[in-house]
Amino acid sequence: MYFNISTYILGTYYIVRNMFHFSYKTTEKLYNQDLIKLPPSKFEKINEVIYSSIHSFTVSTLSLIALTKKTFDYYNYFNFQLLSTENDNDLMIITLGLSLNYFLIDFFRCIYFKKYLFLVHHICAIQLLLFNLYQIKNQTNIGFYGIHTLFLLESNNLLLNTGFLLKEYKFHYSITCTCWIIHLLFFVLFRLIHLPKIMIVYLLNDLSVGDIIFIIPSIIMIYAGSLYWSYRQVKGINKYLKENCVI
């Protein structure tokens, strides 16, 4: 590593802080110049769509670049052996640091805007990211688990945000629902199907006793939240179709 982990965390904090600032100023400009035809009550939601999309795109892209080897057999779901291992690298630390600072800042935003349901998710995410960075600091070379997990959890947020914009701008229901359904399919595939496999492979190959205390509860909470979100998404799609007299 070129720098120690604390330097990377401080550096990524500066980047993420500016990302939030850029998002707010962009939203403000869109409203002030009447480039966005939505009521003022949607200001913070549009702001959230912008900064969460930037984060999703950035960490998903960096995750793909940081992983240089094929470590998991995604073609055979029941193959729980590692195909290869990946040494920890600087790009992994930067990617994890970006997400850590993102969730730390957004944690306080959730408190301010009283989005208490998201606090549990953010606490679990922060705990897992810190644990992964600690493992990298100890040169355990298991950071690739965290990068795979981060990609699976964050990569489909762009589709969710696109569906929100399509709905708010009243695009034809078929377009909006298609986007939501595609998002739901990827959500189920990544979070509910492939995420458990990553955890099983980790448990079988690299688990230590301390890991059970530190990561298993957070993983269970995130997985339970994903199940609940999938249920809400299905209900939302069904409700939207009924409102448009399709079913």
Domain boundaries, the chain: 5-243
Yes or no: say if 71 and 86 are a contact pair by the CB < 8 Å rule: yes
Average pLDDT over residues 150-177: 83
Average pLDDT over residues 168-196: 83
pLDDT per residue over 224-238, tens digit each? 999 998 898 888 888
In the predicted structure, residue 184 carries a pLDDT above the cut 80 = yes
The pLDDT score that the predictor gives to residue 62 is 96
Confidence bin at 35 (pLDDT 50/70/90): confident
Q: What's the chain's average pLDDT?
A: 89
Confidence bin at 22 (pLDDT 50/70/90): very high
The pLDDT score that the predictor gives to residue 233 is 86
Yes or no: say if 16 and 101 are a contact pair by the CB < 8 Å rule: yes
The pLDDT score that the predictor gives to residue 8 is 93
The pLDDT score that the predictor gives to residue 4 is 85
The pLDDT score that the predictor gives to residue 242 is 76
% of the chain residues with pLDDT over 90: 50
Average pLDDT over residues 149-160: 90
- Highest averaged pLDDT of the listed ranges 10-24, 65-79, 145-159, 161-175: 10-24
User: If you write DSSP's letter for every residue of the chain in order, what string do you get?
Assistant: --S-HHHHHHHHHHHHHHHHHHHHHHHHHHHHTT-S-S-GGGHHHHHHHHHHHHHHHHHHHHHHHH--S--S-SSSTT--S-S------HHHHHHHHHHHHHHHHHHHHHHHTT-THHHHHHHHHHHHHHHHHHHHHTT-S-HHHHHHHHHHHHTTHHHHHHHHHHHHTT--HHHHHHHHHHHHHHHIIIIIIIHHHHHHHHHHHT--HHHHHHTHHHHHHHHHHHHHHHHHHHHHHHHHHHHTT--
Lowest mean pLDDT among 13-22, 61-70, 150-159, 172-181: 172-181
Confidence bin at 29 (pLDDT 50/70/90): very high
The pLDDT score that the predictor gives to residue 38 is 86
Yes or no: say if 96 and 129 are a contact pair by the CB < 8 Å rule: yes
Yes or no: say if 237 and 184 are a contact pair by the CB < 8 Å rule: yes
- Highest averaged pLDDT of the listed ranges 1-10, 54-63, 108-117: 54-63
The pLDDT score that the predictor gives to residue 175 is 76
pTM for the model = 0.92
